[in-house]
Chain A
Amino acid sequence: MASNLRRLSSWAAGLVVAALLFNAPFAHCRDFVAEPRASSPITLHFVTWKADHPRAWDEAIQRFEQVHPHIHIKREIAPHSSTAYHDLLTQKLRNRDVSLDLFFMDVIWPAEFAAAGWALPLDEYFPQNERENFLPATIASGMYRHHIYGVPSRIDSGMLYYRKDLLEKYGFLPPATWNEMVRQAQAILVGERTAHPLLRGYSGQFKQYEGLVCDMLEFVGSHNGSFLTDDGRRSNLTASESLQAVRFVREQIIQQLATPAALTYQESESLAVFLQGNAVFHRNWPYAWGLGNDPRHSKIVGKIGVTTLPRFSEGRSTAALGGWLYGISAYSRHPDEAWAFIEFMASPEIQKHFAIHASLAPSRLALYADPEVLHANPQYKDLFPVFQTARARPRTPVYPIVSHILQRYFSRVLAFPETDIREEAEEAGRKINRFLALFRDL
């Protein structure tokens, strides 16, 4: 028994020593491990999510492995929510996880990843002339301080879906301005009240989360407002254009058209309202088109129209830029092989595959003239200008902090109708300025 005890305690002591001794510097040692030869099989770890279209993804990755038989792609599954994915991925990168090679970056992360040294600069792999084949907004989202860190896998941008049948019934054309949209919706609601008491004018994403920032960017931007000043160094939330747009959302959209229920909606909930036939207008990303015309999910197949988001009479239509970029970990031991994977996945052939089989809008310009892509997605033709002008959210290494401040500000003024918008905007602005200042001289 005594020997049992001794063995146990020496094992336990070993554990403590191991934990205490292996300190941060040791992590670097592994960077110098000899590179395996190109011919020996290599496994690349790719942090992704559980695909909405698993077959499309499986097929794409299989095709890659056929072309590159010595590279095996091992997928690691993170949550779908952008924020939860970010939190898991950055935990690995913060600890210089060498087992990680490839990941997705939401368009809002490259500045953060670049400043932290997590993402490998891709300038040599991805030269200027190759970048010109992509939508400019998607390339810009991968840039930070003149280096490029991500290759756009697709583009997302906000757009207005509407009930074609209802608008036609009441003799309306798709609205060009927000006020027009409000008038149309109210007329339709009055007319449909007895037949359809659940019908709402508008459904969008106003829960306290990242999507709220996108939706509000579209209102503020289409009123000539912005979150930050043009040089990106200070908050611009207290500018009267910005304040008025926020007030419009509170008084017209939340309290009237969308009802406060929208304060609990992310994409999925707001889409469900629309697909159940309970909203006249709906703001969402390109994917909603496919689901809206799928009878397993939608009661309004064939009754959907899509157009650019409205603007205020004195502003320009603004669509928030979304989407995901492929990136390579700075700690990867196989950057060349990782690049081969990205090059393959971002190729015209694979993007076309995703556009047709997963309704993901391509990031490559040429595909918008491809007859097969357009046949599967006829709406792209009208939306191409939106994709070209989509507006990015603030680009800064402290974006997660800025986003939390914005989320709190917007959610508070929308959920508490008695709050003073200007006061809340000032408080949010002060905090944003404080954090932006930290990176001003870097």
Chain B
Amino acid sequence: MTNRPALISGILLAVLGSLCPFLWFALTSFKSQIQVEAIPPTWWPDGSLVFYASALVEHRLLHYVTNSLIVAGATTVVALVVATPAAYALARLRLPGKTWILGGLLCVAMFPPIVIAGPVWQILERLGGLNTHWGLILPYVSLTLPLAVWILTTFFHELPVELEEAARIDGCTTWQALYKIMLPLAAPGLFTAAILTFIYAWNEFFFALLILTDPERQTLPVGIALFQGEFIMPWGEIAAASVIATLPLIILVLLFQRGIINGLSAGAVKG
């Protein structure tokens, strides 16, 4: 791939292929109702902001965004706090049967959400977790843990053992060795696990629909799905909402794309 024209056409293809479908949606969000359903479609919007007004005011979009930020943020924090010591233990300590634990975790990652949805609902009902944010965060943590543990384990594996041994000689406990020495070194891996967890929780629809029926607590994917009225398809509002909903993630990706890729290259593939 040192061939210049080939590289440029590759870049163009990748960027256009990734962005164009979404750009069309973004253009749609600035159209008027009649323009959205015009045949043949018109390319350039007349710059109407009605759909944004409707999405933000009538459908209270920002309130769903806030809920999603709370749920996805908390899921990420809890999942990492729980996954890190587990991954460290699996990577470093001589635990009996840890091969099985890792294999088992991978298996858990494969459960179809539908198969566990019913029982999870019942557990949450008994704990009083329906229609609460923590009631959604708990299963999300459980569902994202396998991947987070997997990534972090491979990451800790790559870090030199000598550093910890030195720390131990200086009198650190296992926990101190983990938090003072290993964590700063594993930052890229933590970051990768964090973004994967965050995106999962941000995007998840099925559990959120089942667990949250209180409109005050519903998350963004559910909120957008409920835009659909009984009889009309509000394409414009959905497009406007999607643009707003995607912005936080685009910013996140732009800020941290280096972190994601470095994290992955040091971690997941070594398996």
* A interface residue numbers (CB < 8 A to B): 1, 18-19, 22, 26-27, 47, 49-50, 52, 54, 74-81, 88, 91-92, 95, 97, 99, 198, 267-269, 271-272, 276, 278, 285, 287-288, 291, 296-297, 299
- Tell me whether A95 and B233 are in contact (CB under 8 A): no
Known contacts A50-B227, A79-B225, A80-B228; decide if A88 and B233 are in contact (CB<8 Å).
Answer: no
Is B111 an interface residue when CB atoms closer than 8 A count as contact?
no
- Tell me whether A50 and B229 are in contact (CB under 8 A): yes
The answer for the CA separation of A91 and B118 in the assembled complex, in Å, is 8
The answer for the CA separation of A50 and B33 in the assembled complex, in Å, is 20
Known contacts A47-B213, A80-B228; decide if A1 and B173 are in contact (CB<8 Å).
Answer: yes
Q: How many residues of B contact A (CB 8 A)?
A: 32
- Tell me whether A52 and B39 are in contact (CB under 8 A): no
Is B37 an interface residue when CB atoms closer than 8 A count as contact?
yes
The answer for the CA separation of A367 and B176 in the assembled complex, in Å, is 77
**A267: which B residues are within 8 A, CB to CB?**
230-231
Known contacts A268-B231, A288-B231, A297-B33; decide if A88 and B127 are in contact (CB<8 Å).
Answer: no
- Tell me whether B126 and A91 are in contact (CB under 8 A): no
Q: Which 4 A-B pairs have the closest CB atoms?
A: A76-B213, A22-B126, A268-B233, A77-B215
Cβ distance A191 to chain B, nearest Cβ, rounded Å: 20
- Tell me whether A88 and B210 are in contact (CB under 8 A): yes
The answer for the CA separation of A271 and B229 in the assembled complex, in Å, is 13
Cβ distance B55 to chain A, nearest Cβ, rounded Å: 13
The answer for the CA separation of A296 and B34 in the assembled complex, in Å, is 8
Known contacts A91-B118, A276-B39; decide if A52 and B126 are in contact (CB<8 Å).
Answer: no
- Tell me whether A268 and B232 are in contact (CB under 8 A): yes
Cβ distance A412 to chain B, nearest Cβ, rounded Å: 24
The answer for the CA separation of A54 and B229 in the assembled complex, in Å, is 11
The answer for the CA separation of A97 and B121 in the assembled complex, in Å, is 11
**A47: which B residues are within 8 A, CB to CB?**
213
Is B123 an interface residue when CB atoms closer than 8 A count as contact?
yes
The one of B126, B176, B229, B232 that contacts A18, using a Cβ cutoff of 8 Å: B126
The answer for the CA separation of A429 and B218 in the assembled complex, in Å, is 41
1/0 per position for B85-121, CB-CB distance to A under 8 A?
0000000000000000000000000000000001001
Interface secondary structure of A, over-half rule? mixed
* B interface residue numbers (CB < 8 A to A): 33-34, 37, 39, 58, 118, 121-123, 125-127, 130-131, 173, 175-176, 209-210, 213-215, 218, 225-233
The answer for the CA separation of A176 and B160 in the assembled complex, in Å, is 84
The answer for the CA separation of A80 and B227 in the assembled complex, in Å, is 9
- Tell me whether A271 and B232 are in contact (CB under 8 A): yes
**A198: which B residues are within 8 A, CB to CB?**
39
The answer for the CA separation of A25 and B234 in the assembled complex, in Å, is 44
**B118: which A residues are within 8 A, CB to CB?**
91
Cβ distance A33 to chain B, nearest Cβ, rounded Å: 14
The one of A26, A49, A296 that contacts B33, using a Cβ cutoff of 8 Å: A296
- Tell me whether B213 and A88 are in contact (CB under 8 A): yes
**A75: which B residues are within 8 A, CB to CB?**
215
The one of B34, B123, B214, B226 that contacts A79, using a Cβ cutoff of 8 Å: B226
- Tell me whether B210 and A18 are in contact (CB under 8 A): no
- Tell me whether B214 and A76 are in contact (CB under 8 A): yes
- Tell me whether A18 and B214 are in contact (CB under 8 A): no
The one of A1, A77, A95, A296 that contacts B125, using a Cβ cutoff of 8 Å: A95
- Tell me whether A297 and B232 are in contact (CB under 8 A): yes
The answer for the CA separation of A49 and B123 in the assembled complex, in Å, is 26
Known contacts A1-B175, A88-B209; decide if A95 and B232 are in contact (CB<8 Å).
Answer: no
Nearest chain-A residue to B119 (Cβ)? A19
- Tell me whether A49 and B230 are in contact (CB under 8 A): yes
- Tell me whether B228 and A291 are in contact (CB under 8 A): no
- Tell me whether A291 and B232 are in contact (CB under 8 A): yes
Cβ distance A364 to chain B, nearest Cβ, rounded Å: 21
Known contacts A18-B126, A47-B213, A95-B122; decide if A52 and B175 are in contact (CB<8 Å).
Answer: no
Cβ distance B202 to chain A, nearest Cβ, rounded Å: 20
Cβ distance B6 to chain A, nearest Cβ, rounded Å: 39
**B210: which A residues are within 8 A, CB to CB?**
88, 91
**A272: which B residues are within 8 A, CB to CB?**
37, 233
**B130: which A residues are within 8 A, CB to CB?**
97, 99
**B39: which A residues are within 8 A, CB to CB?**
198, 276, 278
The answer for the CA separation of A287 and B231 in the assembled complex, in Å, is 8
12 A–B contacts from the bound complex (CB under 8 Å): A18-B127, A49-B226, A77-B213, A77-B226, A79-B225, A81-B228, A95-B121, A95-B125, A268-B232, A285-B231, A288-B231, A299-B34
